[in-house]
Amino acid sequence: MQGLKAELLRGFWYMAMPGADVRPGKLSHVMVMGEPLVIGRAKDNSVFALRDICPHRAIPLHYGKFDGETIECCYHGWRFNQQGACVAIPSLREGQRADLSKITTPAFPCRERQGLIWVYFARDGEAPSGAEAEPPAMPIFADDVAPQLHCMLPFSCSTDHAAFGLMDPTHAAYVHTSWWFKRNARKLRPKEKQFEPAELGWKMVRHQIPPQNLAYKILGRNVSTEISYRLPGLRIEEVRGDRHQVVGLTAITPVTDEQTAVHQIFWLSPKWVAPFKPLMRHLMRVFLDQDRVVVQRQREGLMTSPKVMLINDADTQARWWMRVKDEWEAAARDKRPFVNPLKPMTLRWMS
Ligand code: FES
Ligand SMILES: [Fe+2]
């Protein structure tokens, strides 16, 4: 069962970083799917991603210089274009030949959408297609609207355990307790929610949020929420009130098969939230850090390779995650389309 490592899924776009972190003329480094990436923004504002290793003597390219067109390696000045092809070797003298067309560092499909940079990891070098032709789009907000809040913490766990935490309805009473949140959390109450299959995963069907829930009052009246979970590790919450809307995305991006970057991102329609951003960012961080600490502790146990359990209905969604993931792999193996294996269901638990 789920140990320290998870199988990494290919054929998906992964959220690499917020677009705001990639400034023109600068190079950013990030590790995704065990692959070191250098991400840059060209003069025309487009973004690109290359393997962050110089094919000459392996120094990461992000230490080099970028003039908006080509990257100059910091070691011997070889230059690479945004497709990863070597276009110049300064040490060559007249008459000395090198076949530059054979010198490349791999390029990855890379797009910016709604202020996030997504990188595609193919199975066999194929171009993104079908449902994954483009990176996922968040509801409500337009393609050029960047999120107002972003927070990322590195988790010492595989994407499976990060995903389980994401869809775990019963840990909050024990993990997310603060004087300002769930102070009497141990008073568990019965919960019942409807779920149905959705694209590449499932969703908790839209339901009203009780009007006494203060945090949601700013959205107006009749506040309702819908939460969807989909491969390769996205939780999208769409909260609508009669005045405002909020979209929350949690993206779990594999750094390696046992390390995960957990991104928490919000798009908010109220324009007046700017002064509250530092406080909101702080609270997001506190919350996410509680999850980070718990998986860090869990790691101590997982190191002994124990058998672990998933129980109904609290862990049913964790089971669904494994089923949807298995189906994704089976469909690719059998060269057939993905068929969602889930059925509509009501889940009940105490939390
Ligand atoms: S290591 Fe990059 S140019 Fe030599
Ligand atoms: Fe949590």
Give the residue-averaged pLDDT of 75-97. Answer: 96
For 21-42, the pLDDT digits (tens) are 999 999 999 999 999 999 999 9
| pLDDT of 212 | 75
Q: Rounded to the nearest whole angstrom, what is the distance from the C-alpha of residue 175 to the centroid of ligand 2?
A: 7
Which residue carries 């890379």 as its tokens? 110
Q: Among all ligands shown, which has an atom nearest to the Cα of 65?
A: 1
Average pLDDT over the chain, rounded to an integer: 95
Give the residue-averaged pLDDT of 105-127. Answer: 97
State how far Cα 168 lies from the chain centre.
17
Beta bridge partners of 250: 235, 264
Q: Rounded to the nearest whole angstrom, what is the distance from the C-alpha of residue 165 to the centroid of ligand 2?
A: 6
Confidence of residue 218 (pLDDT cuts 50, 70, 90): confident
DSSP string, 59-102: --GGGSEE-SS-EE-TTT--EE-TTSBEEE-TTPPTT----GGG
CA distance readout (Å), 167 to 299, 313, 315: 19, 12, 8
Q: Rounded to the nearest whole angstrom, what is the distance from the C-alpha of residue 266 to the centroid of ligand 2?
A: 16
CATH number of 12-121: 2.102.10.10
**Residue 340 pLDDT greater than 70, yes or no:** yes
Q: Hey, which of 50, 51, 75 would you mutate to test ligand 1's pocket, going by the most ligand atoms within 8 Å of its Cβ?
A: 75
Share of the chain above pLDDT 70, in %: 98
Q: Rounded to the nearest whole angstrom, what is the distance from the C-alpha of residue 77 to the centroid of ligand 1?
A: 6
Domain ranges for the chain, please list them: 12-121, 143-205+254-350
Q: Which atom of ligand 1 is nearest to the CA of 57?
A: 1
Q: What is the pTM of this model?
A: 0.96
Q: Which residues surround ligand 2, an ion (CB under 5 A)?
A: 291
Q: Which atom of ligand 1 is nearest to the CA of 59?
A: 1
Q: Which atom of ligand 1 is nearest to the CA of 58?
A: 1
Q: Rounded to the nearest whole angstrom, what is the distance from the C-alpha of residue 261 to the centroid of ligand 1?
A: 29
**Residue 190 pLDDT greater than 80, yes or no:** yes
| pLDDT of 222 | 92
Q: Rounded to the nearest whole angstrom, what is the distance from the C-alpha of residue 335 to the centroid of ligand 2?
A: 36
DSSP string, 137-166: --SSS-TTPPPSEEEEEEESS-HHHHHHHH
Q: Rounded to the nearest whole angstrom, what is the distance from the C-alpha of residue 72 to the centroid of ligand 1?
A: 9
- Give the single-character DSSP code of 17: E
The protein residue with its alpha carbon nearest to ligand 1, atom 4, reads 76
Residues whose beta carbon lies within 6 Å of some atom of ligand 1: 54, 56-57, 59, 73, 75-76, 78
For 106-116, the pLDDT digits (tens) are 999 999 999 99
Confidence of residue 118 (pLDDT cuts 50, 70, 90): very high
8 Å CB contact between 52 and 36: yes
Q: Which atom of ligand 1 is nearest to the CA of 78?
A: 3
